Amino acid sequence: MPQLTAPDVRFHASFLDAVREFTEADPDASALIGEGTGPYARTWGEPEGFTAFVDMLCAETERPRRPDWVPMTNLWYVQGDIFLGRLSIRHRLSPFLLELGGHIGYAVRPSARRQGHATAMLREALPLCRQLGIERALVTCDSTNTASRKVIEANGGEFEDRRGVKLRYWIRTGN
């Protein structure tokens, strides 16, 4: 069964495969793998560079990579040693996140799409949000992103409004 787990160096080979897929699908793969990962991308092909990347991801609960970002929990969706996707839970909403970004961001590697993984990993993330004190999670998507809209709605997303290109939904994280 696939599961959400903390980033770990044991996924190195599969992560690099996934990056190749992301890059073929969209040259701006950093948007899918995570914004601001550029400096790490230069060295994550090597074990030391990948360790530094994983350490940075795990430390973001305390020290976000950018000074204007809020603390967040980064998780990978994996099956065995295979990296399937990523999901990040932002611990609180900054004005930007309240307007557009939301509490949760996610992406699934192209070869693993349309198998229900995004729907399942968002479902698995909701109790974790609850543990972080988030009673209602804001999740947003572009109005053209049909797949993400379906993922949000399948997880009980209640549509609030549209701001620019973003559709904004709230999901209750518990009863």
Ligand X SMILES: CC(C)(COP(=O)(O)OP(=O)(O)OC[C@H]1O[C@@H](n2cnc3c(N)ncnc32)[C@H](O)[C@@H]1OP(=O)(O)O)[C@@H](O)C(=O)NCCC(=O)NCCS
Q: Is 172 helix (H, G, I), strand (E, B) or coil?
A: strand
| 30, 51, 61, 145: which one binds ligand X (CB under 6 A) | 145
Beta carbon of residue 158, minimum distance to ligand X (angstroms, whole number): 16
108 binds ligand X (CB under 6 A): yes
Q: Which stretch binds ligand X (CB under 6 A): 9-17, 45-53, 100-108, 157-165?
A: 100-108
| 9, 16, 147, 165: which one binds ligand X (CB under 6 A) | 147
Q: Which stretch binds ligand X (CB under 6 A): 66-74, 110-118, 124-132, 157-165?
A: 110-118
Pairing mode, strands 82-90 and 166-172: unpaired
Q: What residue type is assigned to position 42 of the chain?
A: R
| 38, 48, 95, 114: which one binds ligand X (CB under 6 A) | 114
**What is the rounded end-to-end Cα distance, in angstroms, of the chain?**
25
Cα–Cα distance for residue pair 70/52, rounded to 1 Å: 20
151 binds ligand X (CB under 6 A): yes
| 118, 137, 167, 171: which one binds ligand X (CB under 6 A) | 118
Size of the site for ligand X (CB under 6 A): 19
Residue that has been written with the tokens 């609850």 in this structure: 130
DSSP assignment, residue 35? T
Cα–Cα distance for residue pair 70/94, rounded to 1 Å: 7
Tokens read off for 157: 């997303």
Spell out the residues 6+ positions from residue 3 whose beta carbon is closer than 8 angstroms to its own. Answer: 77, 78, 79, 124
Q: Which stretch binds ligand X (CB under 6 A): 5-13, 58-66, 113-121, 123-131?
A: 113-121
The answer to whether 112 touches 85, Cβ cutoff 8 Å, is yes
Residues between 31 and 50 that touch ligand X (CB under 6 A): 32
Nearest to 59 by CA among 19, 7, 23: 7
Q: Which stretch binds ligand X (CB under 6 A): 10-18, 38-46, 55-63, 149-157?
A: 149-157
- Site for ligand X, rule CB under 6 A: 32, 106-108, 113-119, 141, 145-148, 150-151, 154
